Structure 1
Amino acid sequence: MRGTKRQRILVRGMALLTGLVAVPAAAADRVTLTVGTVNNADMVRMQALTPDYEASHPGVRLHWVVLEENTLRQRLTTDIATGSGQFDVMTIGAYETPLWGQRHWLSPLDKLPAGYGLDDLFPNVRAQLTADGHLYALPFYAEASITYYRKDLFRARGLQMPAAPSWQQIRDFADQLNDPAHGVYGICLRGKAGWGENMAIIGSMVNAFGGRYFDMQWQPQFDTPPWHQAVRFYRDLLRKDGPPGVSANGFNESLALFAAGKCAQWVDASVAGGVLTDPKQSQVAASVGFARAPHAVTDRGSSWQYIWSLAVPVSSRQQAAATEFIAWATSREYRDLVASRYGLAASPPGTRLSTYRNPAYMQQVPFAKVTLDSLLAVDPVKPTLLPVPYKGIQFATIPEFQAIGSLVGREISGVLAGRGQVDEVLHVSQQAVRRTMRRAGYDRAAVQPASGAP
């Protein structure tokens, strides 16, 4: 009997190895999609709805890789450039999408379901995710930058926030409201280094002060008066009226500070309104006010626009399933699911016209109008006071910008931390960026119109 049992075990093991034992069809056909996304509240909410998607798609399992913004960008850039195929779905923005699409790193989305509603997308959102006539990503949410402020603190001091404040007014308010002894700081802004972190606010501030990244001959403009004025203003404002350790604060850290009642004002992404007005997540939900992003010598480019989107890399082995998932996650049905589960204010904002044509949304969501007005006002094709050869507001849509923005962002973050002076770091940045542009051949390139893809 012992030998017979051993033989049966051996035969069964060999059958498993050679595929002679049948595997249940459901397990054999199951697809695992690896989704790389950022740890922002809306994406974490999307992850929380995994059971809903898997219930309606029983052959699909979602595997999430949720990372801090800078880390996510590094991982995705490495993966897409090497074609290693670690991700089936990537969360990227309006910067990467046209560049990666033109390089054929992303799958074109030319065959979406009829009911998806492409015509319902904001035209300027759809345009930024299109290259060479193909849509390469679907918008999950779009944001402008707006001003958040504490209405209770303003009221107590007899202050009135204008609908469209200037940066000088923001600084005056910060001076009057800064109260570190009671744990309230006059202003919170991003200080963490990164082309998508501190450079988002710095780039839009420079625009407001009349500056730009490059002139029409692709010459860097970092060592010019508007850059010096804007960065000094930024440094002085945060050193005097900002929270301690601000050079380590990005979007999520600043959001947490404001939600905890630590900031009298905050200029950042309009998408944060859903968190700040939720009493379950914000201690100041009942007292948050909203205004347009500050201007200075101009309002052109003073508010940024960013589109967090979902794309399918060509290296994914699950093209059909990945495309079906991103169509669901950016659909009207997903938006309505979020609203029913978490409330209207949690709906992914800024992408669909129908969201803002809904009277209930406009009446019940306090930041809806300022977000809509800001999104309609931004123009990535004409982003600055003076003409530029690039598209983009807080970034320039050229392959070199990721390295350029990261370099300059590190230098300016260092200034906040007490390392270096503004004039010095901007001069150093100018020289470094000039070398980068020369190596890339921009000094020999014909000037490209901003309306065309760089």
Structure 2
Amino acid sequence: MREENMGIKKLFGAACSLLAFGMVSSASAETLTIATVNNGDMIRMQKLSEDFTAQNPGIDLDWVTLEENVLRQRVTTDIATKGGQYDVMTIGTYEVPIWANKGWLVELADLPSDYDVDDLLPAIRGGLSVDGKLYAAPFYGESSMVMYRKDLMEKAGLTMPEAPTWDFIAKAAKAMTDKDNEIYGICLRGKAGWGENMAFLSATANSFGARWFDMDWKAQFDTPQWKETLTFYVNLMNEAGPPGASSNGFNENLALFQTGKCGMWIDATVAASFVTNPKDSTVADQVGFALAPDNGLGKRGNWLWAWSLGIPAGTQKAEAAQKFVAWATSKSYLEMVAEKEGWANVPPGTRKSLYANPKYQAAAPFAQMTLESINAADPNNPTVDPVPYVGVQFVAIPEFQGIGTAVGQQFSAALAGTVTVDQALQSAQQLTEREMRKAGYVD
């Protein structure tokens, strides 16, 4: 009996040890909090992340998925105040060099050997590096281009050039509009935000010869070029755009285009896979592509951007975070998406090998146009006349985030008709001058 009791005690002790070990293992699992934007590619990444946790059983993932403007506000506040809410942040080409110079981001120096940093497209890698060091990994890269309905273009008796002018776009938009049947010739961003309507309008302004600042950092919204840009945009949208356009950003216009309500949409090249996917788009078999328009001045209205994954310097989980970043932006992730969703749906615009892949070229009719658009954007020389800043659809200074959004609110109001174009430009000039004086750029 005593021996039996001893055996029971040993078994009980062993069970307790196993239980305790399990509890310790569970408690020692790291949870990465990932802040990301509610775009389609990121939603897909979240769904596929079981692959990462299966490979890394000691790491759990907690997702915070936000609308674009909200994401930017929250991650900026968190990293600037060292709040420590997030271990991985979805950030863009604007934030990375500024934050890296402030010491706010972890350098991605420990990526695995098979990651192949040299495979990243030079234009995209350059925008995420400081002094040759990578501070964020691109999840997808983009420029902007024209997406259009071939059937509606044909019905209007027009042929889209590969490299259209703004005059052609305006003519085509009016010809394609059929408001009685809720078909609008053109859909463009109107929602206020430095990365929403101002991304489109800044890139467009470049092609009209406008600038944010002259070489002495003096605001330029009181110039004829900006008046021409904003007047053209407001008139075009009033004549051929959908109702409520001042509330429409990327996702709203995507939904309009996919449901057949837009003749043309000028926006991010990343949208190409969504508008040509028959699962989501009612017009998938009728979509054509063209370069962003120009105005005969040598600059097209296309931008350069990468939604990327960065690691804030305040995280206590940098090693685990870097594992996740490497997984989500690797060649093997692209292959996994291709296997599950088809090659046309892999995150575009990041790797040379993707654009050299015959399977991708065959599946993605927009591949070459995307690559040409990315390579054509020049953030170091974005405008017709010289400027003191870097950035195509943004100005790479810390103050731009606040200024750009405030100007965007004025221009959104002009589109909504609550202020005139002249009033919006006057307000933009005054608020930009005030903020630049306050920041010490001008006297």
Query: With structure 1 as the length reference, what TM-score do the two structures score?
Result: 0.92
* Aligned-residue offset at 1:442: 0.9
For 1:258 and 1:135, locate their aligned partners in 2 and report how far apart those are by CA, in whole Å: 36
Deviations 1:72-92 (A, max 9, x none): 001101100111110000000
Superposition pairs for residues 209-358 of structure 1, below 5 Å? 209-358=208-357
Q: Specify the alignment match of 2:388 in structure 1.
A: 389
Alignment of 1:112-127 (within 5 A): 112-127=111-126
Deviation sequence 1:376-423 (CA, Å, 0-9, x none): 111111111111111100101000100111011000000111111111
Aligned to 2:422: 423
Distance 1:308 1:194 in 2: 16
1:301/1:384 contact within 8 Å kept? no
| Distance in 2 (alpha carbons) for counterparts of 1:363 and 1:159 | 27
Match of 2:37 in 1: 38
Structure 1 residue 133 displacement after superposition: 3.7
Q: 1:349 to 1:299 in 2, by over 3 A?
A: farther
Q: How far does residue 301 in structure 1 lie from its aligned partner after superposition?
A: 5.0
User: For 1:301 and 1:381, how far apart are their aligned partners in 2?
Assistant: 14
Q: In 1, are the aligned partners of 2:166 and 2:294 still within 8 Å (CA)?
A: yes
**8 A contact 1:141–1:350 mirrored in 2:** yes
Alpha-carbon shift at residue 158 of structure 1 (Å)? 2.2
Is 2:214–2:388's contact at 8 Å kept on the other side of the alignment?
yes
User: Could you report, residue by residue, the CA deviation over 1:163-221 in whole angstroms, capped at 9, with x for unpaired residues?
Assistant: 01111100100111100111110100000000000001101111010111111111111
**For the Cα contact (< 8 Å) 1:301–1:383, is it kept in 2?**
no
Distance in 2 (CA, whole Å) between partners of 1:298 and 1:337 is 43
Is the contact made by 2:207 and 2:298 (CA closer than 8 Å) also made in structure 1?
yes
State the match for 2:58 in structure 1.
59
Unaligned runs of 5+ in 1: 1-15, 445-454
Contact 1:301-1:393 at 8 Å conserved across structures: no
- Residues 156 and 172, structure 2, Cα contact 8 Å, conserved in 1: no
Closer, same or farther in 2 for the Cα pair 1:382/1:301, shift >3 Å? farther
- CA distance in 2 between counterparts of 1:155 and 1:302 reads 24
User: After the TM superposition, which of the residue ranges 24-33 and 133-142 deviates more from structure 2?
Assistant: 24-33
Q: For the residues of structure 2 that align with 1:141 and 1:416, how far apart are their CA atoms?
A: 30
What is the alpha-carbon distance in structure 2 between the residues aligned to residue 88 and residue 240 of structure 1?
A: 46
SS at match of 1:281: coil
How do 1:26-175 residues align onto structure 2 when only pairs under 5 Å count?
26-175=25-174
Q: CA RMSD in A?
A: 1.4
Q: Aligned partners of 2:343 and 2:412: how far apart in 1?
A: 36
Deviations 1:222-259 (A, max 9, x none): 11111100000000000111000000000000000000
Q: Which amino acid aligns with 1:308?
A: W
How far, CA to CA, are the matches of 1:229 and 1:21 in structure 2? 71
Give the distance between the partners of 1:133 and 1:347, measured in 2 at CA: 27
- TM-superposed deviation, 1:22: 5.6
Instruction: Provide the residue aligned with 1:7 in structure 2.
Output: none
Partner of 2:186: 187
Which residue identity lines up with residue 285 of structure 1 in the other structure?
A
Deviations 1:253-285 (A, max 9, x none): 000000000000000000001111110011110
Q: Distance in 2 between matches of 1:21 and 1:158?
A: 75
Q: Shift of the alpha carbon at 1:29?
A: 2.3
Q: Distance in 1 between matches of 2:39 and 2:352?
A: 23
Deviation at 1:28, TM superposition (A): 2.4
What amino acid maps onto 1:105 in structure 2? Answer: W
Q: Secondary structure at the match of 1:264?
A: strand
SS of 1:403's equivalent in the other structure is helix
Say if 1:193 and 1:247, in contact at 8 Å, map to a contact too.
Answer: yes
- In the alignment, is the contact (CA less than 8 A) between 2:194 and 2:404 conserved in 1? yes
- Alpha-carbon displacement from aligned partner over 1:415-450 (angstroms, at most 9, x marks no partner): 111111111111121111111111111126xxxxxx
Distance in 2 between the 1:267 and 1:179 partners? 19
Q: Is the 8 A contact 2:293 2:300 kept in 1?
A: no
Residue 375 of structure 2: aligned partner: 376
Alpha-carbon contact 2:292-2:300 (below 8 Å) kept: no
**C-alpha distance in structure 1 between counterparts of 2:62 and 2:41, whole Å:** 17
Moved more, 94-103 or 55-64: 55-64
Letter in 1 for 2:442: D
**Cα deviations by residue, 1:20-48 (Å, 9 ceiling, x for unpaired):** 96653430221111100000000000001
2:10 is aligned to: none
Q: Is the 8 A contact 1:175 1:241 kept in 2?
A: yes
Determine the C-alpha separation between the residues in 2 that align with 1:203 and 1:358: 33
Instruction: Specify the alignment match of 1:4 in structure 2.
Output: none
1:440 maps to 439
**Rounded Cα–Cα distance in structure 1 between residues aligned with 2:297 and 2:28:** 57
Residue type matched to 1:316 in 2?
A: T
- Asked whether 1:412 is paired with 2:399, we answer no
| TM-score between the two structures when normalised by the length of structure 2 | 0.94
User: Residue 190 of structure 1 aligns to a residue in which SS?
Assistant: coil
What code does the residue aligned with 1:184 have? Answer: I
What is the CA–CA distance in structure 2 between the aligned matches of 1:142 and 1:371, rounded to whole Å? Answer: 9
Query: Does structure 2 retain, via aligned residues, the 8 Å contact 1:303–1:378?
Result: yes
* 1:299 positional shift: 4.1
Evaluate the alpha carbon distance shift between residue 22 and residue 113 of structure 1 in structure 2; reply closer, same or farther with a 3 A threshold.
closer
* C-alpha distance in structure 1 between counterparts of 2:259 and 2:199, whole Å: 23
Which position in structure 1 is the counterpart of 2:363?
Answer: 364
What runs of 5+ residues in structure 2 fail to find an aligned partner?
1-15
Once the two structures are TM-superposed, the CA of residue 55 in structure 1 deviates from its matched residue by 1.1
Q: Which amino acid aligns with 1:204?
A: A
Cα separation, 2, equivalents of 1:267 and 1:194: 17
- 1:203 to 2:202 alignment: yes
Count of residue correspondences = 426
Secondary structure (helix, strand or coil) at the match of 1:33 reads: strand
Contact 1:301 / 1:379 at 8 angstroms: preserved in 2?
Answer: no
